[in-house]
Chains A and B, each alone.
Chain A
Amino acid sequence: MEEQEPFKGGKESQLSVQEAARALGVDSFTLLGFIQRDRLTATRSASGEIMIPESELARLTNSERSAPC
């Protein structure tokens, strides 16, 4: 697993995988696939849990409409 620059979103809300999946209307497996395919940027909490910034969900549902493949 390769680490990137720390997320500089300040106090932006972060959602768990389940919460983010629910917000997109998909399942957790699909959401994790989005992260693996770089469609969503995620962070890890100190305990190692994957967290998704709310702005990423907004980007995915509102503005980004590029071909996924």
Chain B
Amino acid sequence: MLTRNGEPVEHVVPGYAGHLTRSELNAYNAAFKTIHSEFSELEKIQEQLDKLVKIRWDHPANLRQFTSVETQDGGGWDAYGILLKLSKGDVLLCRQADGDQWAAIQRFPADSPYAQAHGSAEILLTGNTARDLTNEYMAQAQHTLRFMASNLVAQAQTVVWDQYSQANPDRVMRALSERCAHVVKNTEVVQEVESVKESVNQAPRQSRSIRV
């Protein structure tokens, strides 16, 4: 049996082809515990996007009005589909009540501080056809999901490096980042954690503004 640092290399974790030692597994589990609930959200949203991509929004059978939405500017919209169900709100595929324009409209909990300031329904995107709009929304949502995954990896990294720096943190982080990347089907998350690791090594505790 292989050993590393005197420990058997025998533990398997989801989404990672390699094996971990007991110390590495302890670090992995501690870090994953801190991101577990958000990771579940990540999985749920990705599952919805995977289903969404299979729906033919240009087919009349898939477009049935089921509710109406009013945005803060007074615009009236008819909802024909649910693009995404979130833990706090949803995103609807809507058509202008008195026009031909389509929109992706997000609904927020009416009692949330954000909705109190901006209204409980907000237009995210507009377009001329349901299909084009949905395609664009899915692309944007997938981008946000990758952003979410890379942030979860960064959160886990804080735990691993702060509390388990003796437990082969590079390997632990590789396993965690590959698990997150696997959900969003993209290697950018793994690449990003590599670049973050470099920045940690080069620049200690500093924050910087970002644009994504």
Give complex CA distance A46, B154 in Å. 9
Q: Are A29 and B207 in contact (CB under 8 A)?
A: no
Q: Which of A4-34 contact B (CB under 8 A)?
A: 4-7, 14, 16-18, 23-30, 32-33
Residues of chain B within 8 A (CB-CB) of A25 are 88, 108-109, 111-115
Q: Closest CB-CB distance, B159 to chain A, in whole Å?
A: 9
Q: Are B89 and A30 in contact (CB under 8 A)?
A: yes
Stretch among B6-14, B18-26, B56-64, B118-126 lining the A interface: B118-126
Q: Are B108 and A28 in contact (CB under 8 A)?
A: no
Q: Are A69 and B124 in contact (CB under 8 A)?
A: yes
- Do A41 and B207 form a contact, CB below 8 Å, given A27-B41, A61-B113? no
Q: Are B199 and A61 in contact (CB under 8 A)?
A: no
Partner of A1, one of B123, B158, B211: B211
Q: Are B113 and A23 in contact (CB under 8 A)?
A: yes
Q: Which of B102-118 contact A (CB under 8 A)?
A: 106, 108-109, 111-118
Q: Closest CB-CB distance, A60 to chain B, in whole Å?
A: 7
Count CB-based A-B contacts (< 8 Å). Answer: 145
- From B38, B106, B144, residue with most partner A Cβ within 10 Å: B144
Q: Are A26 and B199 in contact (CB under 8 A)?
A: no
Residues of chain A within 8 A (CB-CB) of B89 are 26-27, 30
Q: Which of B177-204 contact A (CB under 8 A)?
A: 192-193, 196, 199-200, 203-204
- Do A69 and B207 form a contact, CB below 8 Å, given A23-B113, A45-B158, A62-B117? no
Partner of A17, one of B114, B151, B193, B210: B151
In this assembly, does B36 line the interface, its C-beta being within 8 Å of a C-beta of chain A?
no
> Which residues of B come within 8 Å of A, CB atoms?
38, 41, 45, 73, 86-89, 106, 108-109, 111-118, 122-126, 140, 143-145, 147-148, 150-151, 153-155, 157-158, 161, 192-193, 196, 199-200, 203-212
10 shortest A-B CB distances, which residue pairs? A25-B112, A48-B196, A48-B154, A43-B207, A4-B209, A49-B154, A24-B114, A47-B158, A27-B87, A27-B88
